[in-house]
Amino acid sequence: MISKNEFYLEPIFKSSIPKLESFKGKPLLVLFFYLGCPGCKGRAIPFANKLVYEKTPINLIGIHSRFEGKEYSNEELKAAKDEFYIRFPYYSDKNNNDTFREFETGGTPHWILFNKEGEVVQSIFGSDPNKALLRIDLKIKELLEI
């Protein structure tokens, strides 16, 4: 298990910044995404939305991170909610990549899955349905004992 300290986030909407500790009690899935990433928009965000629509009993948040490429404004990040039907809370990574670096992610999309105790149990880069997304789905089911 990987032990990480905290999220370093900035609000996009009028919401408070969650603390990692506040998610303990049920699994947490974090999606690191970037609006300039085709895999994020075409597969990762829809997969995360699917989990929300299916009422999967986990916490789920998104973190918009930019390790390279165009910098998006808060207005563009807000507009993405409607454009991509984002149905989970998401935040901007402080300094565009502080949390991204803290969790040693490999690019976008990148998924970090925490168990109900707040420990990282899976860290996966990508959005291939038969690789990354399938592995995430199976690990969530394992954590939920489905």
Query: Which domains, ranges and CATH numbers included, belong to the chain?
Result: 31-144 (3.40.30.10)
List, as one string, the DSSP characters of 97-114. THHHHHTT--SSSEEEEE
Q: Which residue has the tokens 């300290």?
A: 5
Q: What integer pLDDT is reported at residue 137 of this predicted model?
A: 95
pLDDT bin (cut points 50, 70, 90) of residue 146 is low
Which tens digit of pLDDT belongs to each residue from 7-49? 889 999 988 898 888 898 999 999 999 999 999 999 999 999 9
Mean pLDDT of the chain: 92
The answer to whether the pTM exceeds 0.85 is yes
Helix crossing, 45-53 with 132-144: angle to 10°?
30
Which tens digit of pLDDT belongs to each residue from 58-83? 999 999 998 788 999 999 999 999 99
